[in-house]
Amino acid sequence: MAIIGYGRVSTIDHSLDLQEEKLKEYGCEKIFMEKQSGAKSDREELIKALDYLREGDKLFVYKIDRLARSTFDLQKIAKDLEERGIALVLIKEQIDFSTPSGKLMFTMLGAIAEFERDLIKDRTTEGRERVRHRVNIWDEKDVKKALKLYDERESNGLSVNDIAKMTGVPRSTFHYLC
């Protein structure tokens, strides 16, 4: 029986140190680590880890959201591991998927992680809609003037702040419009 670890962070700027430390504390003999979005299900190191595992092995993951962000992907991975006779253990949540109570908690936490991701997506969409609505409120002439000044900023020497002050079009809107 081998004890294998998998760790993931979403961006290059984030550190894998804590996850690696915890996986080593739990006796992981081999650890697969990557910096990749959890929304992607075809993560290279996750695929390698899953391929590496054999019947009787245990896969340790520091937190449930490091394994996957959707309930569908979590269930798919867990079911595949179970069918292959491989135990899944989530360290932070203290869940051993090989037990009935572990399966229940796994499903509930997976649903919560997916819900949280959907809320973030909704808030982002709402923010974009607010900006889009504000653009409609401003005088179209001001927006056109702001965009023209923005396009010519190298020759006119104006910063985005300067253009925002001159036209009344907020600076944050330039990121949306440009």
CATH number, position 101: 3.40.50.1390
Q: What is the pLDDT of residues 79-121, one digit of tens each?
A: 899 899 999 999 998 888 878 888 787 778 777 877 887 888 8
pTM: 0.60
- Range of the structural domain that residue 161 is part of: 132-177
Q: In the annotation, is 172 catalytic?
A: no
Tell me whether residue 46 is exposed, middle or buried, using C-beta atoms within 10 angstroms of its C-beta: 0 to 12, 13 to 18, 19 or more: buried
The single residue of 10, 41, 70, 98 carrying the catalytic annotation is 10
Shared domain for 69 and 144, answered yes or no, is no
Residue 9 falls inside a structural domain: yes
Region 4-11 average pLDDT: 92
CA distance 6 to 131: 40
Shared domain for 85 and 146, answered yes or no, is no
Shared domain for 16 and 103, answered yes or no, is yes
